[in-house]
Amino acid sequence: MKSIKNIPGIPLVLSVLFALLITSGCERDITVDLPTPEKELVVEGYINPGGPAYVFISRTAEFFAPVDSASLAGYAEKNALVVVSDGIISDTLIAPLPDIGYLYVSTQLTGEVGKTYSLYIRTADGKEATSTSTIKAPVVLDSVWFKVQADLDSLGWMWARLTDPGTPGNAYRWFAKRINKDDDFISPSGSVFEDKFFNGLSFDLVYNRGELPNSTAEEDENEEDGYYKKGDTIVVKFASITKESFDFWRAAETQSSSNGNPFGSAAPLNSNVQGAIGIWEGFSYTLDTVIAQ
């Protein structure tokens, strides 16, 4: 949901800038020897109703490590044993691209609403990671529509009406994609929310158009940035997620939005995977298609 917040701490910002100005004439190069961190496991896995389990496994990188196709391939975790179980069937996941690693997919299990799925990982060097997650029942949006923003001829945002169930503890995530324009669903900033303050209420949601990280697409660099436009066919994917998923993705979005902020502080993600950093989640979703007009 879009929100605008006041930004506190302007006096602090000004005082720091002033200090930088008066000390800029006496700068000197400082070499800091950072210790080499342990390469921790990074896991992102999910299972949906009617679909297989997908698990992506990699390793953390040093802060100043190069980021290119060659180095990224080195972070992929190959030859891992990955098992997903619903308590009855234990499915050893396969790697569709064994030479690359990274992705593991189930072939026997498919997700079902209400079931709990456990994840077990053992890497080639003996590291282990475990987690569990339950697929919650989907919550259907009352209505979904496109609305042109004031003073804009054809650009606007997506709106929806949600009636939250009366039971507390519901959490949600919003995705959307444009047919023939986006390859996959994209979650905009602020895509996750919970019903802590509106349990059982009906209310409107509004979301801008999300974009892929570091996108250089023309529409993400001009006046269309963040907007849908008339003529777009938009599919909204509205997911019902667990509290653990909400905590993880909210922390991830907070970290992403503060990236590059010199006054921001690093904080650990709320991982639900023991022995690794990341998320293993079951979630259900509904789909709504809107032609922007």
pLDDT for 121-141, tens place per residue? Answer: 999 999 999 999 999 999 999
Q: What gap in Å lies between CA 252 and CA 246, rounded to an integer?
A: 10
CB 133 within 8 A of CB 113: no
Domain layout of the chain by residue ranges: 41-134, 143-213+220-243+284-291
- Structural fold of domain 143-213+220-243+284-291: Immunoglobulin-like (2.60.40)
User: Among residues of the chain, what percentage have pLDDT more than 90?
Assistant: 72
Q: What are 62's two structure tokens?
A: 């040093």
pTM of the entire predicted model: 0.83
Topology match between the domains 41-134 and 143-213+220-243+284-291: yes
Residue 25, pLDDT above cutoff 80: no
Q: What gap in Å lies between CA 5 and CA 164, rounded to an integer?
A: 25
Sign of the CA dihedral with 230 first, then 290, 227, and 225 last: negative
Where do we find the tokens 């009636």?
163
- Structural fold of domain 41-134: Immunoglobulin-like (2.60.40)
pLDDT band at 261 (very low <50, low <70, confident <90, very high): low
Q: What are 283's two structure tokens?
A: 């979630």
CB 151 within 8 A of CB 171: no
How many secondary structure helices (H) and strands (E) does the chain include? 3, 16
Averaged pLDDT of the chain: 87
Q: What gap in Å lies between CA 237 and CA 184, rounded to an integer?
A: 11
